[in-house]
Structure 1
Amino acid sequence: MNKPTFMLVDGMALLFRAFYATAVTGQFMVNSKGLPTNAVYGFVKHFFTAVSSFNPSHVAVCWDMGSKTFRTELYDGYKANRGEPPVELIPQFNLVKEMVDAFDVPSIGLEGFEADDCIGTIARQSSVDANVMILTGDQDILQLIDDHISVILLKKGYGNYLVHTRDTFFEEKGILPAQMIDLKALMGDPSDNYPGVKGIGEKTALKLLKEYENVAGIVANLDRLSNAHRLKIEQDLEMLHLSRQLAEIKCDVPIACTLDQAAYRVNREKVLEKFVDMEFKGLHKFLQSEKEYA
């Protein structure tokens, strides 16, 4: 019997991508209530295009729930390089969740954790009974790939994707998906604002991981490294271990989403009513091929 297909959507990735695609030209699509809706409109297009392309039987959307998480508790500098979201985007955080509710799709998030952690937890829970696809623009998620979890990376525009499985990831990087955690621990992550080991870039990090498997293996074999590499790691050993904690997506967050809760069936009338409420035009065509409630 074929397993169901569960698509987990990184809601923040779709929303931010949609916002910035139109914000550069100032097209915020303000409605008659004075609310900007460009990000929500683009989110809907991304959402329905992906659902149409991959035809999942089950869908859920995961969200960040504020900037304070266990990672900011571990490291003050975590994501400290990021400014406040644009004022035109702030009201759209609630609007987009209203839209997802109209799709009868679960919205999942938990204070203290990132959307990635919710995605990781549900992906692991669900991969026993379903083939899981994660829709995101964030390469950090690639660490979750296994035999039953693939990642769909959004590319520029609508309907352009790079799908990664264990095999394609290995072909590209020469390491296993789980080793992405150790790769980021060594390299750091400028976008998340943690340094890893100063002076070690991707090429050196990949070489070390191919030889010693992970951070623990590298540290256990410091005496076998070149003097330059050993010195860099010894000087930043504490940050190396901290960076690995920051890089690892938690897969044991206290949340759950059953397949029954995530069964994907669209009530067209309900969604069209929400389109009218949001004053969206031109999106009804996305509903023509959607599965309807029995």
Structure 2
Amino acid sequence: MNKHNKVLLVDGMALLFRGFFATSYTGNFMINSKGMPTNAIFGFLNYFVNAIEMFKPNYVICCWDMGSKTFRNEMYPEYKGNRGEPPVELIPQFDLIKEVVEAFDVPNIGIAGYEADDCIGTLANHYHQENEVIIVTGDQDMLQLVKDNIHVAIMRKGQGNYEVFSNDTFFEQKGFLPHQVVELKALMGDSSDNYPGVKGIGEKTALKLIEAYGTTERILENIDVLSKGVKKKIEENIDMLHLSKDLARIHCTTPVECSLTKAYWQMNNDKVATKLKDLEFKNITRWLDKVTI
């Protein structure tokens, strides 16, 4: 991964939510003297600093969801409709974490009406011509972005534990190609995002169909040779097949941009230390020492 400058694109929400739930299950919200919970920020910092220490980027950008409604809700109102409100202790940390990221002189990027995935996809496609791009996330949907010079590092259990997907090894790891992530989700849907795909087709059948035909278009061209049961399911859910594919596809032409000069990784220790002391974190050198250039 050394032939170009490295750009680290961080899925902010993935790190923040993971940081929150890693501590909150014990009831430890780390409430400071101002009555502000800081556990999600603490967890975020652990993951964020670890990613910088591990991937040693030249540039760092953090992308965020901006509100819960996006263009996907207009296409399908039930999209993500199964998700409850975020925990009350997490809500005040949404704005605070952006201030912390700013203290690191890392741009916060997000655009109303789109998800962080769409911003990450757009920026990754923009930068990968001349740079090595590493996306840090917990979201398997991002695997569709893998191509030459775009790697996706999926966070696994435990800190510093990533499964890194690259174009040349992806098929060995998954058994299908990056662009086929969208094809699979068109067929099997996504329960966490609350869209059904083709009712009655699960992962096993979806994988078989994609292995045989490659894309949903090819499957439809060959629908008459499919088993009666599968053919019937697809014909009865054809609109949802197309809609699910649109919902699954990361939109890589969002009106978002960020000049890499603004994202150059050059941390000002004093600035970061002041912000973290303000939040009443102790032992902040444990983070600063790891990523000071």
Q: TM-score band (shorter)?
A: over 0.9
Give the whole-Å Cα distance in 2 for the aligned partners of 1:45 and 1:209. Answer: 38
Residue 221 (structure 1) aligns with: 222
Match of 1:52 in 2: 53
Query: What's the C-alpha RMSD, in Å, of the aligned pairs?
Result: 1.1
Superposition pairs of residues 112-151 of structure 1, within 5 angstroms? 112-151=113-152
Instruction: Decide whether the 8 Å contact of 2:198 with 2:234 is kept in 1.
Output: yes
Q: 1:61 aligned to 2:92?
A: no
Spell out the pairing of 1:243-262 with structure 2 (5 A cutoff): 243-262=244-263
Cα deviation digits, residues 261-292 of structure 1 (max 9, x gap):
21111000100001111101123222124345
Cα distance in 2 for residues equivalent to 1:220 and 1:253: 31
3-state SS, counterpart of residue 35 of structure 1: coil
Q: Which structure 2 residue ranges, 5 or more long, are not aligned?
A: none
Q: Distance in 2 between matches of 1:66 and 1:220?
A: 39
Q: Which residue of 1 aligns with 2:92?
A: 91
Q: Equivalent residue for 1:201?
A: 202
Q: Distance in 1 between matches of 2:259 and 2:237?
A: 42
CA contact 1:31–1:278 (8 Å) conserved in 2: yes
Between the aligned partners of 2:79 and 2:86, the Cα distance in structure 1 is 16
> Residue 102 of structure 2 corresponds to which residue in structure 1?
101
Alpha-carbon distance between aligned partners in 1 of 2:85 and 2:291, rounded to the nearest angstrom: 36
* Residue type of the alignment partner of 2:185: K
Q: What displacement does 1:172 show? A: 2.8
CA–CA distance in 2 between the matches of 1:110 and 1:200?
34
- Displacement of 1:167 in angstroms is 3.4
Say which SS state the counterpart of residue 150 (structure 1) adopts. strand
Q: CA deviation at 1:208?
A: 1.0
- Letter aligned with residue 266 of structure 2: R
With 155-164 and 106-115 compared, the bigger mean Cα shift is at: 155-164
What TM-score do you get using the length of structure 1 for normalisation? 0.97
Q: Deviations over 1:65-124 (max 9, x none)?
A: 011100011001100000000000000000100000000001000000000000000000
**1:132-281 to 2 correspondence within 5 Å?**
132-281=133-282
Letter in 1 for 2:237: D
Matches of 2:151 and 2:9, distance apart in 1? 10
Query: What is the rounded CA distance, in whole Å, between the counterparts of 1:155 and 1:173 in structure 2?
Result: 16
Q: Could you list the per-position Cα deviations for residues 213-259 of structure 1 after superposition, in whole angstroms to 9, with x for gaps in the alignment?
A: 11111111111211111111000000000000000000000011122
Helix, strand or coil: the match of 1:166?
A: coil
Q: Contact 1:121–1:253 at 8 Å: present in 2 too?
A: yes
Which SS does the other structure have where 2:10 is aligned?
strand
Partner secondary structure for residue 131 of structure 1: strand
Q: How far did residue 10 of structure 1 move? A: 0.2
- Give SS of 1:286's match: helix
Find the aligned partners of 1:290 and 1:193 in 2 and give their Cα distance.
Answer: 39
Identity, in percent, stands at 57
User: Contact conserved, 2:45 with 2:287, CA < 8 A, in 1?
Assistant: no
Look up the equivalent residue of 1:60 and give its one-letter code. I
- Contact 1:126/1:258 (<8 A) preserved: no
User: Matched residue pairs, number?
Assistant: 292
- Is the contact between residue 198 and residue 232 of structure 1 (CA under 8 Å) also seen in structure 2? yes
Counterpart contact for 1:62–1:109, Cα < 8 Å: yes
Amino acid at match of 2:113: G
* 1:129 Cα offset (Å): 1.1
User: Equivalents in 2 of 1:191, 1:289: separation in Å?
Assistant: 35
Deviation sequence 1:143-175 (CA, Å, 0-9, x none): 000011011111112111111112332113221
Residue in 2 aligned with 1:8? 9
TM-score by length of 2: 0.97
Measured after TM superposition, the shift of residue 210 of structure 1 is 1.7
Whether the 8 Å CA contact 1:149–1:165 is kept in 2: the answer is yes
Residue in structure 1 matched with residue 30 of structure 2 by the alignment = 29
SS at 2:62 equivalent: strand
Q: Are the aligned partners of 1:105 and 1:262 in contact in 2 as well (CA < 8 Å)?
A: yes
Secondary structure in 2 matching 1:159: coil
Asked if structure 2 preserves the Cα contact closer than 8 Å seen for 1:45 and 1:283, the reply is no
Q: Which runs of 5+ in 1 are unaligned?
A: none
